[in-house]
Amino acid sequence: MGISFSARQVPTSMSKTFLLTSESDPVGNAIASLLADSAGFERVFGDEERLSDLGAGDVLLAGDPFAEAGRDIDVTGPGFVQFLGCRPSVELVDRLVESGTTVAGISPVIAPRVANRVAGFGGPLRVKPGASWGVIGLGEIGAEVARKVTATGGSVVIADIRTPRLGLLAELNVRRYSLDLLVAGSDAISVHVHLGPTASPLISGRELGLMKPGAVLINTSHPSVVDEKAVVEALSAGTLAGYATDCPGEVISGVDESLASPGKLFITTNPLTNQVGAAQQIAKFVAANIQAFRDGSGVEGMIDLVDFPTVGDPSFWSSRMSPRQD
């Protein structure tokens, strides 16, 4: 991102800033180091009751423990919640936004790292140069993946329930398809969506059945976005050529190693935040966002309300989006 933000520039308002992460979290530790001397800053470890002390001018920096358990926590007080992980609960985000809270994620700063990981999966999955990629979800991360693919000679189609901002498709040199057409026509499919509150995975046996022979699937969003059981069945049957993920669920984590030996299944559980310099980069981004919130100048990576109850419904993606929008 190239954001420069020194410890002396951190806002010194008496408004409170609570950091809620585990003690071993590298991002939390980097933020604590950067903000340690700022007025009103406090790190709380699993003490959710303290969150009731936060008011409209206060900030909550929420790590994964909060993002996972937050749906059960009454936290409508802070004016700004900055999530520090890549996969906050949509249910929680909706509740916060509806209460008037400004909510942001780290997508702007982590997107290039995700794009590099997706491209890295392409090698072992044997994705050929110039392949057709389908990118599901055109947020900060999906857009960065599209840039990465087109820059290396691939073509990209995208599917998203939201209408892309004016000019973005032309800027990225991509076309917008329905989910069905994207799935049926792509050599490699990469999923970049938030987990919605529906029980239905976005990529189920239905979508896997539409994929062309030799197609591969990459999931860096959330294990529940895909039907992992259907993925394993498709890999075993040979109808899906390969699957790569950095967020394996119980099914993929416990799969028979025989699937990995032919080069069909690739898993990494190493968080992107563990990469060299990532925690410090995110800490500077967060500090800049805190200042932007308090200055009223607008934060980066804002998460808006989306009509997520329809995300897991293939009929929405198929019928409510035109096959192509240039």
Q: Tell me the pLDDT of the chain (326 aa) as tens digits.
A: 333 323 323 344 468 899 988 888 899 999 999 999 998 898 887 666 677 777 888 999 988 766 555 445 566 678 999 999 866 777 778 788 888 889 999 999 999 999 999 999 999 999 999 999 999 998 899 999 999 999 999 999 999 877 777 789 999 999 999 889 999 999 999 999 876 655 578 899 999 999 999 999 999 988 888 999 999 999 999 999 999 999 999 999 998 777 776 779 999 888 888 888 999 999 999 999 999 999 988 899 988 765 443 444 444 444 334 333 33
Q: Which residue has the tokens 């999923």?
A: 191
pLDDT in the model for residue 326: 32
Rg of the chain on CA atoms, in Å = 20
pLDDT in the model for residue 206: 92
Which architecture does CATH list for 111-271+312-319?
3-Layer(aba) Sandwich (3.40)
pLDDT in the model for residue 320: 37
pLDDT in the model for residue 48: 64
Question: Cα separation of 153 and 187, whole Å?
Answer: 14
Q: Where are the domains of the chain?
A: 7-108+274-310, 111-271+312-319
CB within 8 Å of 240: residues ≥ 6 apart: 208, 211, 215, 216, 217, 231, 234, 264
Find the angle CA(94)-CA(95)-CA(99) to the nearest 5 degrees.
115
pLDDT in the model for residue 92: 78
pLDDT in the model for residue 255: 87
pLDDT in the model for residue 265: 93
Question: Cα separation of 103 and 92, whole Å?
Answer: 10
DSSP class of 85: S
**Under a CB-based contact definition with an 8 Å cutoff, are residues 134 and 188 in contact?**
yes
CATH number for 7-108+274-310 (one of 3.40.50.300, 3.40.50.720, 3.40.50.2020, 3.40.50.2000): it is 3.40.50.720
pLDDT in the model for residue 21: 86
Edge to edge, what strands does the sheet with 80-83 contain? 41-44, 17-20, 59-62, 80-83, 102-104
Provide the whole-model pTM. 0.84
Question: Cα separation of 199 and 169, whole Å?
Answer: 30
Same fold, 7-108+274-310 and 111-271+312-319: yes
